[in-house]
């Protein structure tokens, strides 16, 4: 895969995706209570952790995604050198908001196994 590829994977496939794709940058989207360490192959300055909950309206005790999260993600993408892929982990696919098992949140292939999505940034979108 090209070095400017963005992978989106569930937590269960992070280590294998990092190894297989030679990922250099990591974005973790997860609630603040879940402790997910930075993998050893990713330096801390190349790991953006955005602590938030998967909610669309404010709920007491939970963190609503906000403009600051978006700004941090955009800046991280702008700082990414695109010499190796970037991985986003912890996303919930559309329609999976009621799932509680991380593996159940993952997109499934035809055999029911968790799978990884790949994306390519549109030219000019990150280039500025």
- Look at residue 125 and tell me if it is in a domain: no
Domain that holds residue 82: 6-119
- CA distance to 66, 70, 92, 127, per residue, from 123 (Å): 26, 19, 26, 7
Q: How many domains does the chain have?
A: 1
pLDDT band at 35, cuts 50/70/90? confident
- Look at residue 126 and tell me if it is in a domain: no
pLDDT at 54: 86
pLDDT digits (tens, 9 = 90+) for 37-92: 999 999 999 999 999 998 899 999 999 999 999 999 999 999 999 999 999 998 54
Calculate what percentage of the chain has a pLDDT beyond 90.
Answer: 52
CA–CA–CA angle 54, 60, 61 (5° rounding): 70
Contact between 14 and 121 under an 8 Å Cβ cutoff? The reply is no
CATH number at residue 69: 3.90.190.10
């Amino acid at each position: 895969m090209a070095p400017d590829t963005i992978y989106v994977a569930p937590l269960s496939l992070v280590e294998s995706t990092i190894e297989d794709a030679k990922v250099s940058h990591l974005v973790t989207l997860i609630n603040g209570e879940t402790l997910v360490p930075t993998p050893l192959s990713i330096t801390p300055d190349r790991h953006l952790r955005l602590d938030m909950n998967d909610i669309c309206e404010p709920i007491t005790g939970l963190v609503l995604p906000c403009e600051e999260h978006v700004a941090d993600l955009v800046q991280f993408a702008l700082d990414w050198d695109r010499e190796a892929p970037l991985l986003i982990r912890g996303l919930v696919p559309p329609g999976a908001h009621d799932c509680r098992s991380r593996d159940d949140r993952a997109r499934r292939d035809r055999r029911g196994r968790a799978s990884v999505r790949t994306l390519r940034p549109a030219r000019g979108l990150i280039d500025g």
